[in-house]
Structure 1
């Protein structure tokens, strides 16, 4: 297995990269700024230049990777096309590149509540709606996929157990980015996580379960 990570220098992406490295999985990280990435990511990571809005650069960057993890996301800005470009068109470009490279699995970090059109986050240029459109594109691509929908993201990790459920069943709650990274990486080696939408939050009152039990229950 060789993992290709898009959005590798983001807060969630960098944790995914570190989790992969910790488990001895080779990583190619697609970045737009090599110098910045070297400061953020582990030295073992192979850094490649690329942009999700440039399909040619993605095809070159993927190289000999066998799985893709996408943790991209539009940054808050005054550009109303941001979420459409990054969260939808960018993901579409990654999916098409994955198909041409016979990628074995595509893990996509989405968001809780993507099916709620009137959610306040959609005031940010329909960001949840465009993530949902990207999910649909991935689902119908023919690729093996895992769609991870985390609740509110926290930078600080904690010991709270993960709660995992199927699509459109969880509508509130939060989760550390580190646990999101763990779910993404665990899904790569679990057949029970394939072709599923996984909604995840964490709670101090949740029952602690193995990853396999969590994946199998969805």
Structure 2
């Protein structure tokens, strides 16, 4: 297995790269700034400089990979086009490139509540709406996929157990970014994750489950 990671230098993406490399899975990381990426990512990661707008370059960079994991997402900005360009158009470019590269599994990190149009987060230029549209396009793409919808993201890990649920089941809760990364990578090895939307949060009183059972429950 070799994995292509989009959003690799972001706060969730870099943890996905970390988990992949800890499992000795070769990684190709899409980055905008090579110097920054060298500071953040492990030395054995292959860096490809580019962005989600260049679909042809994406397909070329994915050659030889069997999995794509995307943690790319728009940053808060005054640019009202950014959620469309990153979360929707950029994700679609990744999907198209993955089809050309004959990727076996596409894991997309999305968000809880993407189906709620009147959610307050949509005040940020409809970011949840564009995430939801990208999810739908991935589902229709013909690729084997797993959509991970985490709750509020925490930079610090904790000992709480992961709770997984079907699409549009959870409406709140939080989860460390490292746990999101662990679930994303685990999905690559569990057939029970295939073609599912998996909502996740972490809760102190939840019962710990192995990865297979976690995905089977969804």
1:1-218 equivalent positions in 2, closer than 5 A: 1-218=1-218
Contact 1:173–1:201 (CA under 8 A) maintained in structure 2:
yes
The 3-state SS of whatever aligns with 2:5 is strand
Contact 1:49–1:57 (CA under 8 A) maintained in structure 2:
no
The 3-state SS of whatever aligns with 1:199 is strand
Please, what TM-score do these two structures have when normalized by structure 2? 0.99
CA distance in 1, matches of 2:67, 2:32: 20
Structure 2: 5+ residue runs without aligned partners?
none
Aligned residues: 218
CA distance in 2, matches of 1:56, 1:32: 16
Contact 1:49–1:61 (CA under 8 A) maintained in structure 2:
no
Structure 1: 5+ residue runs without aligned partners?
none
CA distance in 1, matches of 2:139, 2:60: 24
CA distance in 2, matches of 1:59, 1:50: 11
CA distance in 2, matches of 1:130, 1:151: 17
CA distance in 2, matches of 1:183, 1:127: 23
CA distance in 1, matches of 2:63, 2:191: 24
Please, what TM-score do these two structures have when normalized by structure 1? 0.99
Once the 2 structures are TM-superposed, how far is the Cα of residue 194 of structure 1 from its aligned partner?
0.5
The 3-state SS of whatever aligns with 2:128 is helix
1:45-95 per-position Cα deviation (integer Å, ceiling 9, x unaligned): 011112101112212221311100000001111011000000000000000
CA distance in 2, matches of 1:199, 1:12: 16
CA distance in 2, matches of 1:63, 1:45: 15
CA distance in 2, matches of 1:137, 1:21: 29
CA distance in 1, matches of 2:194, 2:98: 16
